[in-house]
Structure 1
Amino acid sequence: MSTGVFLAVLGAAFLHASWNALIKGGRDKTLGMGALVLGHAPFALAILLVVPLPDPASLPHIAAGLVLHVGYQLCLLESYKIGDLTQVYPIARGTAPLLVALVSVTLLGVHLAPLELLAITVIAAGILSLALVRRADGQRNRAAALLAITTGGFIAGYSLVDGLGARAAGTALGYYAWLSVGNAILTAGYLAWRAPGTLRRIPTDGRRVFLLGGGASYIAYATVIWAFTQAPIALVTALRETSIVFALLLGTLFLRERLDLGKVLATTLTLLGAVLMRLGRL
């Protein structure tokens, strides 16, 4: 991985943690998530004016990616309703590189060096320990941990699909722009069906998340999809999860979430696993 790609993914990690904190910190998380996803649309439409059409071979990937992204958004939303950012975010993001690495080895024929196998073990240890941390009121929150792990499964799924799809499309930006437009349409349809009042409030109450969160989220994942075409998917996915450090800081400094030794150690373990996976490709 080149230095430019490395720094770009780190920047994406910070943006990703930022919009997650914005959603978690809002009172109406359904409104926040809807505003964020619909906020992708202006950026995507602007990009479509200047990039070529994706190769038709990537259309199945776009379709599968839509299903996985919507599933991820709904699952993440439920996780944030019952769990702390400093618990939910690290578990969800830590699960993803573990699953991506396993699929890469068993199904895609990717060879992992011993150091990378050690990284998987360390990440797994971090995830297991995070599932045992206490929530803000001092009680165990296994339901939030289970939802976060499920969210991580969706992250792993769309990471693999989008990485392969962007390569097949021949245009990473074009691939994600069409994916974002489709995602916005599906999200608008879901809100119109389940929460029509929420959809009407996005231009007013959700304007801040629409503009700031939507922009941060779009730029973050567009950068990651581009990086998928420049470096191994498993490596990019692992490096992106350095965002757990940013999430820990944002959750404690701005959301006033309870910080304890368990969260610090578990987050550190998961981050260490991501770093080891990065070093395994040097």
Structure 2
Amino acid sequence: MSLAVFSAVLAAALMHASWNALIKVRLDRFASISLTSLGMAVTALPVLPFVDFPGAGAWGWIGVSLCMHIGYRLFLIRAYEVGDLAQTYPLARGSAPLITTIGGVILIQEVPGPFALAGILMLSAGTFLMSLRGGGRLAAFNLAAVGYALTTSLFIAGYTLADGMGAREATTALSYAAWLFVCDGLVATAIALVCRGRRLARTLAVEWRIGLLTGFLSGAAYAIAMWAMTKAPIASVASLRETSILFAMAISVFALGEKMTGWRAASALCIVAGVVALRLS
């Protein structure tokens, strides 16, 4: 993986952790994540006149991705409602690279090299450790939150593989990303209106600024990741994105007032080791 791709994915990871933390602290997370999707669509609209219209192959992957994103959002919201950011976020994100790696080997015959595989395993091990013991005591382990988080990881792996292949199929990764974001925003908004109706309109009137901010951060982070997946193996990019867990830990400690523990420090070192291995791959 080149230094340019490596650095870009790290920047995307920081953006990803930031918008997740912003959603975590909102009182109505369903509305917040729906507004984030709408914000992604709004920020992508000005890009459409300057990118190609995707071909039939790319649109097929967009369709798969839309379905995966719907499931991802619904289960992520439930995970945040019943669990702490420091547990649910690492588990949801940390399980996905392993699933993505297996899916990449089976579906597109993309087999990681030795260093890449070591990096993926160390990143996943670090995130599992942070999730299981990040709060300090295993007694705090929330089974319901873990179930929602693991299901979320399946959807993450699904849309990661779909979007990696779609970005490669399209003329450019930006054209694929822009059309995906606009379509996803429309679908997410339609679902939110069915579920919330006028209540969503009232929330939008109050929180449209935060929706635009989280939408921009989410869209920029994922567009960078899709571009990176056209330059490097999908599983390696997906794993490196999970350095967002380190940023999420820092946010949870310094901004949300959660406790820093020895277990968190150990898991962070494991994640850093995985990052180094991926950089050497």
Kindly indicate whether the alpha-carbon contact (under 8 Å) linking 1:10 and 1:240 is maintained by their aligned counterparts in 2: yes
SS in structure 1 at match of 2:108: coil
SS in structure 2 at match of 1:231: coil
The change in CA–CA distance for 1:167 and 1:117 in structure 2 (over 3 A counts) is closer
- How far apart in 1 are the matches of 2:90 and 2:259? 15
Which string of whole-angstrom CA distances, capped at 9 and with x for unpartnered residues, describes residues 103-122 of structure 1? 22233222322333333433
- How far apart in 2 are the matches of 1:51 and 1:121? 37
- How far apart in 2 are the matches of 1:23 and 1:254? 13
Kindly indicate whether the alpha-carbon contact (under 8 Å) linking 2:125 and 2:270 is maintained by their aligned counterparts in 1: yes
Query: How much does 1:124 deviate?
Result: 4.2
The change in CA–CA distance for 1:196 and 1:204 in structure 2 (over 3 A counts) is same
Kindly indicate whether the alpha-carbon contact (under 8 Å) linking 1:241 and 1:274 is maintained by their aligned counterparts in 2: no
Between 11-20 and 255-264, the greater mean CA deviation after superposition: 255-264
Aligned positions, number: 280
Query: How much does 1:69 deviate?
Result: 1.0
Q: How does 1:85-104 map to 2 (within 5 A)?
A: 85-104=85-104
SS in structure 1 at match of 2:50: coil
Query: Mind listing any 5+ residue stretches in structure 2 that lack a counterpart?
Result: none
Between 105-114 and 30-39, the greater mean CA deviation after superposition: 105-114
The amino acid that maps onto 2:251 is: L
The change in CA–CA distance for 1:145 and 1:258 in structure 2 (over 3 A counts) is farther
Match of 2:157 in 1: 156
Between 77-86 and 111-120, the greater mean CA deviation after superposition: 111-120
Query: How much does 1:219 deviate?
Result: 0.9
The amino acid that maps onto 2:261 is: D
SS in structure 2 at match of 1:107: helix
The amino acid that maps onto 2:52 is: P
- How far apart in 2 are the matches of 1:39 and 1:16? 14
The amino acid that maps onto 2:226 is: I
Which string of whole-angstrom CA distances, capped at 9 and with x for unpartnered residues, describes residues 207-232 of structure 1? 23212111111111111111111211
Kindly indicate whether the alpha-carbon contact (under 8 Å) linking 1:132 and 1:140 is maintained by their aligned counterparts in 2: yes
The change in CA–CA distance for 1:268 and 1:87 in structure 2 (over 3 A counts) is farther
- How far apart in 1 are the matches of 2:136 and 2:196? 28
Structure 1 segments of 4+ aligned residues over 6 angstroms from their partners: none
Which string of whole-angstrom CA distances, capped at 9 and with x for unpartnered residues, describes residues 169-203 of structure 1? 11211111111122111111111111124421243
- TM-score normalised over the length of structure 2: 0.92
Match of 2:20 in 1: 20
Q: How does 1:41-190 map to 2 (within 5 A)?
A: 41-133=41-133, 139-190=140-191
Q: How does 1:231-270 map to 2 (within 5 A)?
A: 231-270=232-271
Identity %: 40
Which string of whole-angstrom CA distances, capped at 9 and with x for unpartnered residues, describes residues 43-91 of structure 1? 2211101111112211110100000111111111111111111111111
- How far apart in 2 are the matches of 1:188 and 1:136? 38
- How far apart in 2 are the matches of 1:125 and 1:74? 26
Between 132-141 and 191-200, the greater mean CA deviation after superposition: 132-141
Match of 2:227 in 1: 226
Match of 2:279 in 1: 278
Kindly indicate whether the alpha-carbon contact (under 8 Å) linking 1:36 and 1:217 is maintained by their aligned counterparts in 2: yes
Query: How much does 1:275 deviate?
Result: 3.5
Q: CA-atom RMSD, angstroms?
A: 2.1
Which string of whole-angstrom CA distances, capped at 9 and with x for unpartnered residues, describes residues 82-101 of structure 1? 11111111112211211111
